[in-house]
Chain A
Amino acid sequence: AQSVSQHNHHVILSEAASLELGCNYSYGGTVNLFWYVQYPGQHLQLLLKYFSGDPLVKGIKGFEAEFIKSKFSFNLRKPSVQWSDTAEYFCAVADDMRFGAGTRLTVKP
């Protein structure tokens, strides 16, 4: 089965800082990838997804991710974070909806 790995366990940023969270996947063939967000005390919600086409994917709330096949990566970015972005972020592969370990983002006001 495919797997994903997230290297950043906890990221702390100040408001307006830029964000990049890493996600690497294990399989070199056709791959479909997601980023989900989990706000404190809530369930997971989809941020964005990549299936084909433009490798730069734009999602909700100003988030985007770039699929780089040569690097097996699908990193999540946001140019300027807000306090309300404080949450846990999960990368997932569509094969069997297996998730990475998650990255906890804390944005300081």
Chain B
Amino acid sequence: DAGVIQSPRHEVTEMGQEVTLRCKPISGHNSLFWYRQTMMRGLELLIYFNNNVPIDDSGMPEDRFSAKMPNASFSTLKIQPSEPRDSAVYFCASSSPGPDTEAFFGQGTRLTVV
């Protein structure tokens, strides 16, 4: 398996624009996690899905952020409108069913909002 695939790897956008980050989890995994990593705030869990259903979105910073998982093989994280403080590395991770499984991370998307 190719692992968790995120796109794009780098994104530079202007303030106010819409940004969409994409994630393809490992086939067979049923949990998917979105994280944001910054120097100031560390690694924050934004939202996670189980069987395509959002379970906990309490980490989503504000209404400008939204996440969807229309099927088991694809998820998006959208920021609209984007702001400079959204600049960060966004990671997606997935894990397989069962209580003793770890999360596998994608390479991340480095977002810069200017």
Chain A residues at the B interface, C-beta cutoff of 8 Å = 1, 32, 34, 42-46, 49, 51-52, 90, 92, 94, 96-99, 101-102
Q: How many contacts between A and B, using CB within 8 angstroms?
A: 48
Residue contact B105 to A45, C-beta cutoff 8 Å: yes
Instruction: Please classify the interface of chain B as helix (H, G, I), strand (E, B), loop, or mixed, using the class held by over half of its residues.
Output: strand
Report the Cα distance A106→B37, complex, angstroms: 19
Chain B residues at the A interface, C-beta cutoff of 8 Å = 31, 33, 35, 42-43, 45, 48, 55-56, 91, 93, 95, 99-100, 102-108
Complex A-B: 10 CB contacts under 8 Å = A43-B91, A43-B106, A43-B108, A44-B91, A44-B93, A45-B105, A49-B102, A96-B55, A101-B42, A102-B42
Residue contact A97 to B99, C-beta cutoff 8 Å: no
Known: A96-B56, A102-B43. 5 other contacts (CB 8 A): A46-B104, A94-B99, A98-B45, A99-B35, A101-B42
Report the Cα distance A97→B22, complex, angstroms: 20
Residue contact A97 to B103, C-beta cutoff 8 Å: yes
Across-interface contacts of A34 in B (CB, < 8 A): 102-103
Residue contact A43 to B107, C-beta cutoff 8 Å: yes
Report the Cα distance A97→B31, complex, angstroms: 10
Report the Cα distance A88→B56, complex, angstroms: 26
Contact A97:B95 (CB < 8 A) given known A1-B56, A102-B43: yes
Contact A99:B45 (CB < 8 A) given known A32-B100, A51-B99: yes
Report the Cα distance A96→B56, complex, angstroms: 9
Report the Cα distance A101→B95, complex, angstroms: 21
Q: Considering the complex of A and B, which 3 residue pairs feature the smallest CB-CB distances, nearest first?
A: A43-B105, A51-B100, A101-B42
Complex: chain A residue closest to B104, CB-CB:
A46
